[in-house]
Chain A
Amino acid sequence: MANIDDLVTTLAQDAAAVKPAPHPFLLCFQWMGAAAVYLALALAISGPRPDLLDRFHQTWFAAEIAALLGVFIVTSLSTALLAFPDLHQKRRLAFAPVAAFALFVGVMFLAWRADNPPSPLPVHSFECTLSIALMTLLPAAWAFYSLRRFASTHYRLAGSTALLSAFSVGALWLRLHEDTNSIAHLVEWHYLPMLVIGLAGLWLGKVLLKW
């Protein structure tokens, strides 16, 4: 008990004024803003797919992009909430990515059914996953760097959502850049790797965000 009193005295003496962390919504907007600039820059450099405007008139392409954007927004928000020990007391919102991913899977399933006769498979395969992964590096590094300044009590989950959020930026970029319409290819090389990324995030969260 005496040790605790000593500790309290020491901590109190060390307690200078502290600037509270920004609200998670603000944090999320900052991340999304930076990601939007990054995406715009990447698209400006690599160039959008030639038929992009036409494709947006097709229901399932627009729905896929909207659902992917939804995954990005919700995982960013969830990451921001998970950065706080008490999830900023918005537990339901923190676990919203489950619903966003369910919606995304539903959209992809319907898009796959609508892709009849199936669009031809492109000649490349794993290059897509590699490109997305490379695009993911910078936003992921930034997200983890930001998260380390907080105090997540759900560090594995925070790592996973942070990586998924970064990966969805890469996936959005490639979908808007690459002239591919084969849903089978998209599922296999663009979106299924998200599962691996999610698991890698759990591990990275444990390694980098434990405090």
Chain B
Amino acid sequence: MTEQNDNLETLMRRSLAGDQRAYAALLHETTRLLRPFLAKRLSIAGEVDDLMQEILLSIHKARHTYDGNRPYKPWVYAIAKFRLQDHLRVHYSDQLRHALDFDELEEYLLEPVTESLMSYESISGEVDKLPEKQAMILRFLHQDGYTAREVAEKTGMTESAVKVAAHRAYKVLRKKLER
């Protein structure tokens, strides 16, 4: 273990001196070291790879703050934890923003999204005032007559995400039209 630590510190010292091979070896070793740490805290494998790339970039940006005279691992773990916290913060705030009531969602996913009692033309002015993504989905569904699945294919979203976005847009429109 100490030998590996010595090795990491030596690699970093050589990297700081401009040795590119040592730097590549150090980054590979660091990836190997951090992978289990991240895998334990993130459930999706793709997320681990994305975050690992962010961490490697951060190490690159911050490498001047390591002088080669203190243990390497606490330094690199501090950066990894920092990026992990950032990642989780964004992830959870995103989830909260997109959270919907489960009952409401279940009920809604069974409904056909292309059926409407009102003509699209009569409310197109209001649709244009919606956020760009929601407006685009409504245009696809009601102006161009695509199904939710087709819209999903066109926009690169999942079908459920299209339905959810459309549902949100309907809610906003309903509120506006009820006023």
Give A contacts to B, CB under 8 Å: 1, 3-4, 7-9, 11-21, 23, 83-89, 150-151, 153, 211
Once bound together, how far apart are the Cα atoms of A12 and B27, in whole Å? Answer: 8
Q: Interface of chain B, helix or strand or loop or mixed?
A: helix
Q: What is the CA–CA distance of A170 and B96 in the complex, to the nearest angstrom?
A: 43
Tell me if A18 and B56 are in contact (CB < 8 A). no
In the assembled complex, which residues on chain B have CB atoms less than 8 Å from the CB atom of A13? Answer: 20
Give Cα distance in the complex from A19 to B20, angstroms. 15
Within 8 A of A (CB), among B30-61: 31, 49, 52-53, 56-58, 60-61
Neighbouring A residues of B21 by C-beta, 8 Å: 12
Question: Which residues of chain B come closer than 8 Å to A12, judged between CB atoms?
Answer: 20-21, 23-24, 27
Q: Would you give the shortest CB distance from A152 to chain B, in whole angstroms?
A: 9
**Given A4-B49, A17-B17, A86-B78, are A151 and B62 also a contact pair (CB < 8 Å)?**
yes
Identify which of A7, A11, A19 contacts B64 (C-beta below 8 A). Answer: A19
List 15 additional A-B contacts (Cβ < 8 Å) besides A7-B53, A8-B24.
Answer: A4-B52, A7-B57, A9-B24, A12-B20, A15-B15, A15-B20, A20-B64, A20-B66, A21-B64, A21-B65, A85-B75, A85-B82, A89-B70, A89-B74, A153-B81
Contact across chains for B67 and A21 when beta carbons are under 8 A apart: yes
Is there a chain A Cβ closer than 8 Å to B71's Cβ? Answer: yes
B60 touches A85 (CB 8 A): no
CA distance in complex: A153, B83 (Å): 9
Contacts of A14 in B (CB 8 A): 60
Please indicate the chain B residues that have their CB under 8 angstroms from the CB of A88 in the complex.
70
| One of B20, B49, B67, B78 near A85 (C-beta < 8 A) | B78
What are 13 of the A-B contact pairs (CB < 8 Å)? A4-B31, A4-B56, A8-B27, A8-B28, A11-B24, A11-B57, A12-B27, A14-B60, A18-B18, A18-B63, A20-B65, A86-B77, A153-B79
List chain A residues, Cβ under 8 A from B62: 85, 150-151, 211
Q: Determine the main DSSP class of A at the interface with B.
A: loop
A14-B60, A85-B78 are contacts. A20–B67 as well, Cβ < 8 Å?
A: yes
- B137-179 to A contact mask, C-beta < 8 Å, 1/0: 0000000000000000000000000000000000000000000
B67 A15 Cβ-Cβ under 8 A: no
Given contacts A17-B18, A89-B74, contact A23 B49 (CB under 8 A): no
Alpha-carbon distance between A14 and B82 when the two chains are bound, in angstroms: 24
CA distance A87 to B74 in the complex (A): 10
A interface footprint on B76-98 (CB within 8 Å = 1, 0 otherwise): 01110110000000000000000
B82 touches A16 (CB 8 A): no
Contacts of B81 on A, CB cut-off 8 Å?
Answer: 153
**Contact in complex: B24, A150 (CB < 8 Å):** no
Cα–Cα, bound, A4→B51 (Å): 10
* Residue picked from A7, A12, A13, A211, most chain B C-beta under 10 Å: A12
Q: B78 near A4 (CB under 8 angstroms)?
A: no
Question: Looking across the interface, which residue of chain B has its beta carbon closest to that of A83?
Answer: B65
Mask, B7-24, CB within 8 Å of A = 1, is 000000001111011011
B65 near A85: Cβ-Cβ < 8 Å: yes
Tell me if A211 and B64 are in contact (CB < 8 A).
no
What residue of chain B has the Cβ atom nearest to residue A153's Cβ?
Answer: B82
